[in-house]
Structure 1
Amino acid sequence: MENNTENNMAENLFAVFRQIHSILPQSDQDLHKNLTRSHYEVLFVIYDNKKIPMSEIAKLLSLSKPYMTALIGRLIEETLVERVPDQKDRRIIDIILTTKGEKLLLQHKKMIEQHINQKFAHFESNDLEYLSVILKNLKEMFMQIDL
């Protein structure tokens, strides 16, 4: 890829990230008053992985370990996640969702989906199908990036 193409790609990607961020609900307070967007990002990572060490969550979200410790601490206080020893290596502590955490996360996901559907309701179905294909391809490309 030539430099100009790389610069355009990076610029467009950055713009899309900002636009996606702007269409998401600004407040998650309706579901849980003590959680921030970062808490929900952590919950999604745990949900996707079923059980995962805190250091892996921090790596996937590009967060510092002290900040991750604080986020997990709050989620434990709210009984949304638990620490459990890894079955293969007891030195490793995995983080898992509780039933309460999974229920809250699925409610949050549904709220976001409804919000996004409202934002895109005025588009034609063929435009939405085209966007869906683009997003699927983008997701697959991101999965190939080594974090």
Structure 2
Amino acid sequence: MNATSNEIKADYNFISDALVDIYDQIMRIEESEIRKSRFKDITAKELHLVHTIGLHDLKTTSEVARILRLSKGTLTANLNNLERKGYITRITNQQDRRIINLTLTSKGRLLYRAHYAFHRKLVEQCLKGFDGPAIKKMKQALINVEDFIGEVSTK
């Protein structure tokens, strides 16, 4: 093995370890911040469900289940909790009454904005010092990871 392949192997190992560590730390920070905030009644999983529902689009329960790769039963249980806690509202679609649309309440929108601000800061730190072409490469790397995760999770 030459010096270049040793460097590449070391870079791969670093990236692998960093992805695991970053994921773990983000989850810990989010859980810690939730406990210190006015949103003590919500879990990190519920927080990500609120984020997936989003601010402006009316997503259906089927869309949210597909995005989060949740069974409809699991999603329903989580939606029941969020609705009971006052973060979401279910709206029956007027064109097709079998379809349930989801929207955030004012409390849910406030939580969404706080979570979005945290992620915006993460992205700013991640891209600090990068120029346009490097940002495009980072974006492509993340698309590659998403595609891989999508392939693995559908098997």
State which structure, 1 or 2, has the greater radius of gyration over its C-alpha atoms. 2
Q: CA deviation at 1:87?
A: 2.7
Superposed CA RMSD: 3.6
Change over 3 Å in CA distance of 1:108–1:26 after alignment to 2? closer
SS of residue paired to 1:29: helix
Q: CA deviation at 1:83?
A: 0.5
Q: Residue 134 of structure 1 corresponds to which residue in structure 2? A: 137
Change over 3 Å in CA distance of 1:14–1:57 after alignment to 2? farther
- Residues 99-124 of structure 1, C-alpha deviations (whole Å, 9 max, x = no match): 2211211012213434x379x48x96
Q: CA deviation at 1:47?
A: 0.6
Q: Is the 8 A contact 2:86 2:105 kept in 1?
A: yes
Output aligned runs, 1:51-130, within 5 Å.
51-114=58-121, 116=122, 120=125, 125-126=129-130, 130=134
- Where does structure 1 lack aligned partners over 5 or more consecutive residues? 1-10
Q: Residue 46 of structure 2 corresponds to which residue in structure 1? A: 39
Select 1:29's aligned residue among 21, 28, 35. Answer: 35
Provide the rounded CA distance (Å) in 1 between the counterparts of 2:42 and 2:71: 18
**TM, length-normalised to structure 1:** 0.68
Q: CA deviation at 1:13?
A: 8.8
Q: Is the 8 A contact 2:51 2:115 kept in 1?
A: no
Provide the rounded CA distance (Å) in 1 between the counterparts of 2:137 and 2:85: 37
Provide the rounded CA distance (Å) in 2 between the counterparts of 1:126 and 1:138: 14
Q: CA deviation at 1:49?
A: 6.8
Provide the rounded CA distance (Å) in 2 between the counterparts of 1:89 and 1:76: 22
- Residues 115-136 of structure 1, C-alpha deviations (whole Å, 9 max, x = no match): x379x48x96148983x33332
Q: Is the 8 A contact 1:50 1:97 kept in 2?
A: no
Q: Matched residues, percent identical?
A: 22
SS of residue paired to 2:35: coil
Point out the more displaced range, 89-98 or 133-142: 133-142
- Where does structure 2 lack aligned partners over 5 or more consecutive residues? 1-12
Provide the rounded CA distance (Å) in 1 between the counterparts of 2:15 and 2:94: 40
Letter in 2 for 1:92: I
Q: Is the 8 A contact 1:43 1:101 kept in 2?
A: yes
More helix by share: 2
Q: CA deviation at 1:90?
A: 1.2
Q: Residue 6 of structure 2 corresponds to which residue in structure 1? A: none
**TM, length-normalised to structure 2:** 0.65
